[in-house]
Amino acid sequence: MFVRSDPQQKQHTTRLSLHIAILTAPGDLRQDKLNKEPVIIIIMSGTQSQATASSLQICRIMRPDDANIVGNVHGGTILKMIEEAGCIIGTRHCNTQSGDRCAAQLARVERTDFLYPMFIGEVAHVSAEITYASKHSVEVQVHVMSENILTGATKMTNRAALWYVPFSLKNVDNVTEVPPIKYASPGQEEEGKKRYEAQKMERLETKERNGELLMPVSAPDRTTKEPYTVGFSQSSLIHLVGPSDCTLHGFVHGGVTMKLMDEVAGIVAARHCKTNIVTASVDAINFHRKIMKGCVVTVSGRATFASNKSMEIEVFVDADPLIEAEKGKYRAVTAFFTYISLDKQGKPLPIPPMKLEGDGEQRRFEDGKMRYLQNKAKRLADKERQQ
Amino acid sequence: MFVRSDPQQKQHTTRLSLHIAILTAPGDLRQDKLNKEPVIIIIMSGTQSQATASSLQICRIMRPDDANIVGNVHGGTILKMIEEAGCIIGTRHCNTQSGDRCAAQLARVERTDFLYPMFIGEVAHVSAEITYASKHSVEVQVHVMSENILTGATKMTNRAALWYVPFSLKNVDNVTEVPPIKYASPGQEEEGKKRYEAQKMERLETKERNGELLMPVSAPDRTTKEPYTVGFSQSSLIHLVGPSDCTLHGFVHGGVTMKLMDEVAGIVAARHCKTNIVTASVDAINFHRKIMKGCVVTVSGRATFASNKSMEIEVFVDADPLIEAEKGKYRAVTAFFTYISLDKQGKPLPIPPMKLEGDGEQRRFEDGKMRYLQNKAKRLADKERQQ
Amino acid sequence: MFVRSDPQQKQHTTRLSLHIAILTAPGDLRQDKLNKEPVIIIIMSGTQSQATASSLQICRIMRPDDANIVGNVHGGTILKMIEEAGCIIGTRHCNTQSGDRCAAQLARVERTDFLYPMFIGEVAHVSAEITYASKHSVEVQVHVMSENILTGATKMTNRAALWYVPFSLKNVDNVTEVPPIKYASPGQEEEGKKRYEAQKMERLETKERNGELLMPVSAPDRTTKEPYTVGFSQSSLIHLVGPSDCTLHGFVHGGVTMKLMDEVAGIVAARHCKTNIVTASVDAINFHRKIMKGCVVTVSGRATFASNKSMEIEVFVDADPLIEAEKGKYRAVTAFFTYISLDKQGKPLPIPPMKLEGDGEQRRFEDGKMRYLQNKAKRLADKERQQ
């Protein structure tokens, strides 16, 4: 089953002997032993499956960061593992013939059901196999099992089917050809072809639906805004507080909050300048209220002031206790970040002037200018005092 | 050399490490200044200080994920390290006397300048020292140096001052008392007190300003929305694509995108249900276009349909090439996620009915109902076929 | 093929995979039984092997953050994956009999050689098997293969042996009994017992050596130190233990500790050599005491020996319970890491000779030289035996 056509045969044998070396104690690798037990090769397939081109297994322990507060592993964690397995096996298969080196790009995931929850501390086992190959795509079927290593209980939690399309690494717009696979029976190939045709049809349909929906949803509608206005670069992100964001006692580390603030402010600055921007300074930040585990944090930034050399961005952090909603949303932190814009050699570039709209923006610009001038004066005074 | 039995000497060092930090700034190196200080000071320089309660050093190599595409370390990465050092040293100090165990909570960061950029592969050294203690707060001063371990070049990139307030672990609303520290001179205590008073004043002022600004900025304004409407739970996040999100060839892994989609959809579901929600299924997802390194990804979700047992959330992924802005923003993926709501024992809870507003929401609800019924019928058919 | 709705069929598969587990131990091979099973089932065994108690495989793509700037995967990344596999398989095995639920805690890693470098974009395959069980410990042997999924090239990059000791989850100070394993031959059990006795002896010896060294190593003031001295390259880092560093039961994963150790040792080596350095080997590491959640970990490294081709770095790990300070700081682990220096083409460069200062450094250098010569002799003997 795992034996492939001639060019691969040699490789196959090499891989196998390696594996036998692995499975037997060192020094136990004897050619005569191997010859006496040809069957062992088939048996090994269980543990050496990584070396075969058509199947793969990934597993790891579920950590606190993979789950929500009550310990349920996020569906997204599972989907990410599934895709990692598919990407490895797809890329591996598409490179088993001569020609351009290529990478397998995810084109579609079929409907996926989460049959059972998975929990922190369990081991997720993801097994992937290539089950169909068309001229330009491969189907990878994936199974996910959860294993409780304390009780030994295992459950199949997911089944998924993914379609990958290989593109050439020399020319990323060039889709390469997929090597054929061997099927257990003609019927299996037939069924694969049916799945292939069905998904192709559906992909075309969605493409159209997507076209229709191209307007943004809830995000700030930058497309209708003029460049260099506050509205154009304004950005916000939400972050679900995870265990690693918190102290042992369940409060978000101030440093985590500041990192998110810098991330948003940096996006605002990059949207305004469209260059490499770097943080130049942060004004004093006050942390008014603690942010608890289980909150969703919304971090929003907007440009307030720009001189020729730097721009100032105001950042707001709002905490929203998702489940204990009666506690209400509250503002936890605000701050001003200042960015400068750099060219490819790291030399400062001028900041595009802001286009102000409305009284609020004008007022905030004046306030920002004041802070800018005060800081400038303070820097000069410090310099003089040091001399 | 490293024994610090004399408390005065220890404090003395504190003051001095500042000197040395200043001197490391290139161009500011004056031999005469150095000669005035006893040699011992230079050796102490706060680097071995992790053993003492009142100073600490953290260092680590800057990794690709700490920086932007051109290799500049994010200001947020530095701020996070600074705060980690402050949190450790603050918590340690506040637990040096008997009484309730406590944790130090960040209350304020003074204005921070980023003097020089730091790059991937350099080592960031963060040194923190407690420089003032009031009855209920400690001031931690932090210095950050970058070290190029290949050339040996070092630069001081940041100085920061942070204020921490300890709270009791038994009762997190209870602020505990801070043990006193020894000062090198009465003058030092005096200066610390001035800084303490100044920041206290400023904190009060900002509190007021913040009150005024409590309306949300660019985020979807959930506060004005009625619960259970689409607008109320609608959410979106932005994510700056980092190196670990991408394949070697600079394209975002499909699995990374799906994880972000599940994160947003989960927040929408939690905002609607206010319970523990888990992913039940994902409809087929098509990946229309690759997402490149250097993009900002906006992931938005909105409720489309709710039955008694589950709710469906539509998720959109838009990619925005930040720097090569001429390429334009584009929709990369869309999908439908289905969630169920669980009680504390993991048993299903009913989903609150959606309040629909407008024709669009009504139409999407009907479409969602269709998908729901089709899936239900398909499941039943599968079951029968298997029996 | 993948539909498993029929409970009987599922059962069947499970039973089979068990068979295969048994069969993978040579000697227990029954041709007749195998032939009765349809071929298709044998294929599944590949994807099912996670269900067997005595072997396990982990794999994942190496990402930018797993490697240094020139793309060499850190030895610490590999050590962490090795330990994750060992922890899963060890914990799983120790829970295969009735009695208290328990977790397997890393007690020791035997000397590990890094045979070939691994690079970003390659897939690391880690295979682990339980190879010996004493009353209170299990030996896990691990092999690591690198796979270039573009070219299909695979290499065995590491072999490691780890010892785990199970502790009861009800009472973490209580070591539980290990279920026996089946050996392929009495000779295999005998050899395992020899390895067990040898490591037991060595563990006792190191315990004493460690006690002696409890004073902090402490980091450097490198600016006053001459290049190539021990003081010049000496380094230390501090890490606040987070949730993702720990097992469900609140103890730091051995792999997390080893990754930090490799990070510090790598910085020491880079400071000394100022080139691209890679981990060549790690001497046996003993984990004397568990590190608890809520600790601050200080990891310090100093050069002890340099030959022309490699340098040895001693690493200390000290744990400091931040809040429960009365428990006192303690030394948790010590180890010797060996690094080699590479030029831009990946070819070995000579190591700059060390400048020794004082008797301590001289003594440690002699000890290091002894270890170096012993390892060299052992390698030669192994080579000859294999011919």
User: A162-184, pLDDT tens digit by residue?
Assistant: 999 999 988 888 999 999 999 99
| Domain presence at residue C39 | no
Residue of C nearest to B89 (CA): C322
Is residue C122 located within the same domain as residue C230? no
Structure tokens at C11: 């059962």
Is residue A90 located within the same domain as residue A229? no
**Rounded mean pLDDT of A252-266?**
92
Q: Is C271 on the interface with B (CB under 8 A)?
A: yes
Q: Could you give the CA distance from residue A105 to residue A126 in angstroms, rounded to a whole number? A: 19
Is residue B153 located within the same domain as residue B255? no
CB contact under 8 A, A39 and C39: no
How far does chain B reach from its first CA to its final CA, in angstroms?
81
Looking at residue C209, what is its pLDDT? 55
Which CATH number do you get for residue B227?
3.10.129.10
Looking at residue A53, what is its pLDDT? 57
CB contact under 8 A, C45 and A46: yes
Of C362, C81, B291, which Cα lies nearest the Cα of A58? C81
Which residues from chain A sit within 8 angstroms of residue B206, using beta carbons?
286, 288, 334
Q: Is C63 on the interface with A (CB under 8 A)?
A: no
CB contact under 8 A, A76 and B260: yes
Residue A325 or A314, more confident? A314
Cα Dmax for chain C: 76
Looking at residue C210, what is its pLDDT? 52
Is residue B240 located within the same domain as residue B180? no
| Domain presence at residue B31 | no
CB contact under 8 A, B266 and A82: no
% of residues, chain B, pLDDT over 90: 40
End position of a domain, from candidates A157, A183, A198: A198
H/E run at residue A380: helix A358-386
Average pLDDT, chain A: 80
| Domain presence at residue A25 | no
Q: Is B345 on the interface with A (CB under 8 A)?
A: no
Q: Which residue intervals of chain B are DSSP H helices?
A: 7-24, 31-36, 39-44, 75-94, 186-212, 230-233, 254-273, 358-386
CB contact under 8 A, C322 and B2: no
**B262 a catalytic residue:** yes
Q: Which residue intervals of chain C are DSSP H helices?
A: 7-24, 31-36, 39-48, 75-94, 186-212, 230-233, 254-273, 358-386
Structure tokens at B365: 């609800």
Q: Pick from A37, A61, A64: which is nearest to C88 by CB?
A: A61
Looking at residue B223, what is its pLDDT? 55
User: How many contacts does A have with B, using Cβ atoms within 8 A?
Assistant: 320
Of C180, C249, C228, which Cα lies nearest the Cα of C352? C228
CA distances from A160 to A62, B31, B147, B334 (A): 19, 69, 47, 18
Q: Is B115 on the interface with A (CB under 8 A)?
A: no
Q: Pick from A77, A264, A274: which is nearest to B323 by CB?
A: A274
Q: Could you give the CA distance from residue A200 to residue A358 in angstroms, rounded to a whole number? A: 50
Of B1, B17, B5, B6, which Cα lies nearest the Cα of B129? B17
CA C350 to chain centre: 27
Q: Decide if B255 contacts B249 (C-beta within 8 A).
A: no
pLDDT digits (tens, 9 = 90+) for B19-54: 222 222 233 323 333 333 322 222 222 333 333 457
**Rounded mean pLDDT of B353-375?**
94
Range of the domain at C252: 222-386
Which residues from chain C sit within 8 angstroms of residue A138, using beta carbons?
none
Is residue A93 located within the same domain as residue A192? yes
pTM for the model: 0.76
| Domain presence at residue C44 | no
Please, which pLDDT band fits residue A97 given cuts at 50, 70 and 90? confident
Chain A interface test: which of B116, B248, B258 (most A C-beta within 10 Å): B258
Q: Is C53 on the interface with B (CB under 8 A)?
A: no
Looking at residue B179, what is its pLDDT? 93
Among the listed residues B68, B72, B148, B375, the single catalytic one is B68
Whether pLDDT at B305 is above 50 = yes
Q: Could you give the CA distance from residue A329 to residue A292 in angstroms, rounded to a whole number? A: 12
Residues facing residue C277 across a β-bridge: C341
Which residues from chain A sit within 8 angstroms of residue B254, using beta carbons?
83, 87, 105-106, 109, 162
* Choice among A69-83, A92-106, B198-212 with the minimum mean pLDDT: B198-212
CB contact under 8 A, B284 and A169: no
H/E run at residue A267: helix A254-273
Is residue C108 located within the same domain as residue C160? yes
Which residue is listed with tokens 């233990």?
Answer: C241
Cα within 13 Å of Cα(C335), Cβ side: 31
Q: Decide if A242 contacts C243 (C-beta within 8 A).
A: no
Chain B interface test: which of A126, A251, A287 (most B C-beta within 10 Å): A287
Looking at residue A25, what is its pLDDT? 30
CB contact under 8 A, C154 and A43: no
Which residues from chain B sit within 8 angstroms of residue A76, using beta carbons?
258-263, 266, 279
Looking at residue B311, what is its pLDDT? 97
Q: Is C120 on the interface with B (CB under 8 A)?
A: yes
Looking at residue A241, what is its pLDDT? 86
**Rounded mean pLDDT of A275-287?**
90
Q: Pick from A213, A263, A274: which is nearest to B240 by CB?
A: A263
Is residue A266 located within the same domain as residue A159? no
CA C11 to chain centre: 35
The angle at the Cα of B68, spanning B62 to B73, to the nearest 5 degrees, equals: 35
CB contact under 8 A, A121 and C247: yes
**Rounded mean pLDDT of A286-312?**
90
pLDDT digits (tens, 9 = 90+) for B182-232: 999 999 999 999 999 999 888 877 665 544 344 444 444 455 678 899 998
Q: Dihedral (C-alpha) A39, A44, A46, A51: value to the nearest 10 degrees?
A: -120
Which residues from chain A sit within 8 angstroms of residue B75, using beta carbons?
262, 266, 278-279, 282, 337
**Rounded mean pLDDT of A285-298?**
86
Is residue C313 located within the same domain as residue C228? yes
Is residue B282 located within the same domain as residue B378? yes
Looking at residue C379, what is its pLDDT? 86
Of A252, B103, A71, A58, which Cα lies nearest the Cα of C248? A71
- Average pLDDT for runs of 10 along chain C of length 387: 32 27 29 31 30 73 86 93 92 87 92 92 92 96 92 92 93 91 93 94 70 44 76 87 82 93 93 92 90 87 95 93 77 93 91 94 95 92 84
| Domain presence at residue B96 | yes
**Rounded mean pLDDT of A312-320?**
93
ipTM above 0.85, yes or no: no
Which residues from chain C sit within 8 angstroms of residue B179, using beta carbons?
none
Q: Could you give the CA distance from residue A210 to residue B318 in angstroms, rounded to a whole number? A: 11
Q: Is C146 on the interface with A (CB under 8 A)?
A: no
pLDDT digits (tens, 9 = 90+) for A319-350: 988 777 667 788 889 899 999 999 888 899 99
CB contact under 8 A, B74 and A255: no
The angle at the Cα of C142, spanning C137 to C144, to the nearest 5 degrees, equals: 160
Looking at residue B205, what is its pLDDT? 75
Looking at residue C173, what is its pLDDT? 87
| Domain presence at residue C25 | no
Contacts of C310 (CB under 8 A, 6+ apart): C280, C338, C339, C340, C351, C372
Is residue B254 located within the same domain as residue B350? yes
Residue-wise DSSP of B292-346: BTTEEEEEEEEEEEE-SS-EEEEEEEEEEESSSGGG--EEEEEEEEEEEEE-TTS
End position of a domain, from candidates A165, A198, A231: A198
Residue of C nearest to A27 (CA): C386
Structure tokens at C71: 């793309």
Q: Is A106 on the interface with C (CB under 8 A)?
A: no
Whether pLDDT at B10 is above 70 = no
CB contact under 8 A, A217 and B206: no
Over the range A275-304, which residues count as b (16 or more CB within 10 Å of their CB) and which as e?
bbbbbbbbbbbbbbebbbbbbbbbbbbbbb
Distance from the Cα of B205 to chain C's closest Cα (Å) equals: 33
Residue of B nearest to C149 (CA): B248
Residue C340: strand, helix, or coil: strand
Is residue B253 located within the same domain as residue B296? yes
C-proximal residues of A, 176-205, CB under 8 Å? 184, 188
Residues of C classed as catalytic: 68, 262
Please, which pLDDT band fits residue B170 given cuts at 50, 70 and 90? confident
The number of beta carbons lying within 10 Å of the beta carbon of residue C107 is 20
Q: Is A88 on the interface with C (CB under 8 A)?
A: yes
Looking at residue B293, what is its pLDDT? 83
Distance from the Cα of A280 to chain C's closest Cα (Å) equals: 25
Q: Is B289 on the interface with A (CB under 8 A)?
A: no
Residue B350 is classified by DSSP as P
Looking at residue B222, what is its pLDDT? 52
Instruction: Give the count of domains, chain A.
Output: 2
| Chains contacting chain A through 3 or more C-beta pairs under 8 A | B, C
Residue of A nearest to B77 (CA): A259
Whether pLDDT at A246 is above 90 = no
pLDDT digits (tens, 9 = 90+) for A31-48: 333 333 322 222 223 333
Sign (positive/negative) of CA torsion A268, A269, A275, A278?
Answer: negative
| Domain presence at residue C30 | no
CB contact under 8 A, B57 and C274: no
Is residue B283 located within the same domain as residue B342? yes
CB contact under 8 A, B267 and A322: yes
| Domain presence at residue B351 | yes
Of C234, C270, C306, which Cα lies nearest the Cα of C72? C270
CB contact under 8 A, A46 and C20: yes
**Rounded mean pLDDT of B145-156?**
86
